[in-house]
Amino acid sequence: MGPGVVVTGLTLGALAVVSLLAFQANGAQDRAGGAKPAATTAAAGTPTTAAPSASATPTVPPPPVTSGTGPRVVYSVSSHYVWLVDPKKTPQVAAAFQVLPGTVEPTPGSYAVYSRTPTGVGTDGRQIEHVVRFAQQNGVVFGFSAAVDGTTPATGPKTPTADPKAKTGGIRSGRAEGQLLWDFAPKDTKVVVVA
């Protein structure tokens, strides 16, 4: 078998794999009920976002138009997504990812990060990290965090609490996303909650 046959075989195999991955990616959007913001995580656990191309729909859509302007963390109560937005950067959306809300949602509006804690214990008894608090309403503290045990919105309980009657405002992300948010949102960073 000559080198030309080997190269041709490898090229055809690579094209088949790329075509299959493109087909699966296109079908995943349809199975999920339409376009939703997403963050991707590489095999090593490093979060990444795909840059938009001229011929493809961006992987990370812009934040809701009602989220205002300037650098900000945007949290959507209805879709349970977070966007980290910095208009001075390209792309402006540094990351977008799904989160798991507590039992109570914050009221839509504009807030600011007022407290940060590197580690702690969540209301569900799990060790948490990268706690970024932005609001208090009716005795409930609202903030973002990640479970140290790796529990993510996809693998965790439906509400992050051991007591189903407890009112909790913890908004849980995966660890990689929690690190991104921690790095992005120092004290006084604007947090916009949209419906």
Residues 126 and 95 in one domain: yes
Residues 23 and 51 in one domain: no
Answer whether residue 151 is part of any domain: yes
Tokens representing 84 are 């980290």
pTM above 0.75, yes or no: no
Q: What is the residue range of 92's domain?
A: 47-194
Answer whether residue 121 is part of any domain: yes
The pLDDT of residue 61 is 66
Distances (CA, A) of 63 to 97, 99, 129, 142: 11, 15, 25, 20
Tens of pLDDT, residues 117-139 = 999 998 878 899 999 999 999 99
Residues 94 and 167 in one domain: yes
Answer whether residue 176 is part of any domain: yes
Tens of pLDDT, residues 134-179 = 999 999 999 999 999 988 777 766 545 567 788 899 999 999 999 9
Residues 95 and 7 in one domain: no
Mean pLDDT of the chain: 76
